[in-house]
Amino acid sequence: MPYKLPAIMKVKPLIFNNIATMIKNKPAILYPSIILLLTVFINTQKLTAQNAPSLKQVFNNDFLIGTAINTPQIEEKDAAADKLIKQQFNAVTPENIMKAEIIQPGWDVFNFELADKLVAYAAKNDIKVNAHNLIWHSQLPAFMHHMQSADSVKQYFVHHITAVASRYDGKVYSWDVVNEALNEDGSLRKSIFLDKLGDDYIVEAFRLAQKASPHSKLYYNDYNIEQPAKRKGAIELVKKIQAAGVRIDGIGIQGHWRADNVPFADIEESIKAFAALGIEVMFTELDLGVLKNPWDNNTADVSATAKGGAAMNPYAKELPDSVERVQAKAYADLFQLFLKYKKNVSRVTFWGVNDQQSWLNDWPIRGRTNYPLLFDRNFKPKPAFYSVITIKK
């Protein structure tokens, strides 16, 4: 008699898409596996975000699990997000509130209110803060936009790093001291800092941060530095800082990749290459988007924007199971790689708490519906979440 699939297995073909074929071929041998899969499936259907397994507990002996958080979350005004953050994560990165345009809106005017709230929130909940960031070419205060004097830029540079980093010395676990300073070919990106302060401005930024915040770890953060040319530039940058006798504790590979195009071989080579420099390796802004961008590449340059129609927003209503499968496997494969190098990888941070929060809904095309994270718009765990949890079983 042919074996009929139970009705529950038809509810979510994502997990069981190949079971029917398996049963048909060797039903008797596969019965134990089928029962196990059914048990897993039934259990996952019952789980909500609040009673799901905890990422920070599952990977407690491996690396920190972080998320980027926004202002309502820092102020605990988003109850659903607040519960999830406290349950799932042991590290947070402020998405925007410690960037220069917000924290220093005027020449000698600082706004520390939200950053202070972040530090207090993290301390209350035993969460480590990765402060983001001190020096970046983007999101600068308005008064910097037309600054022509090298002396004025130097004064801002020293004052900003010293004032901000010293205020949170020992209160934040780490700083992204310099963010996104490299071009895709590994050369230094054109910026007001490079133009006015010269090639050594990154070394000087770390020197100032080291003095102002001796009790916090100091990192360089960038996207696409897993790619060979940009990786080479990042390695040279780290070596230059080290040769100057200045402290750099780690490097952050952002990890803005498409779920169907994760560069696993390049990522592995980068972990090995950066670890060989004696520094920590982190994945600092991880999201695996499911939408293409107009340039069909993995850039994460916030200034690169475009227009697009319905064809560039194919999953406005829901994400097909076939795409969920691709994303779930990609996340599982990534975490397998992170675990392989857990002696070198110290943190994995997702860039957002759930899909609704993701910056990819409005970049590079505004108003799209992307699904790049482990929790959906209702804060429920997605198949990608379970694929990550399962690799530790």
Tokens describing residue 246: 């200045």
> Residue ranges per domain, the chain?
1-46, 55-390
Residue whose C-alpha is closest to residue 141's, from 111, 170, 171, 116: 111
pLDDT at 5: 29
In order along its 393 residues, the chain shows pLDDT tens digits of: 332 323 333 334 444 444 444 444 555 554 444 444 444 454 445 455 557 899 999 999 999 999 999 999 999 999 999 999 999 999 999 999 999 999 999 999 999 999 999 999 999 999 999 999 999 999 999 999 989 999 999 999 999 999 999 999 999 999 999 999 999 999 999 999 999 999 999 999 999 999 999 999 999 999 999 999 999 999 999 999 999 999 999 999 999 999 999 999 999 999 999 999 999 999 999 999 999 877 666 666 666 666 767 788 999 999 999 999 999 999 999 999 999 999 999 999 999 999 999 989 997 899 999 999 999 999 999 999 999 999 987
Residues 6+ apart with CB under 8 A from 314: 291
Active site residue 76: no
Residue range 55-390, CATH number: 3.20.20.80
> DSSP readout, 343-390?
TTEEEEEESSSSGGG-GGGSSSSTT-----SSB-TTSPBPHHHHHHHH
| The one catalytic residue among 95, 180, 280, 324 | 180
Q: Which amino acid is at 177?
A: V
Tokens describing residue 56: 């920070």
| The one catalytic residue among 95, 226, 285, 324 | 285
pLDDT at 42: 47
pLDDT at 270: 98
pLDDT at 35: 44
Tokens describing residue 167: 């205020």
Tokens describing residue 147: 């600054």
pLDDT at 46: 47
Partnered with residue 286 across adjacent β-strands are 350
Taking the alpha carbons of 301, 135, 175, 163 in that order, is the dihedral positive or negative?
A: negative
pLDDT at 290: 97
> Contact, 180 vs 189, CB < 8 A?
yes
Tokens describing residue 364: 């590079």
Q: How far from the centroid of its chain's Cα atoms is residue 295's Cα?
A: 21
pLDDT at 293: 77
298 upstream amide cis, omega within 30 of 0 = no
pLDDT at 308: 67
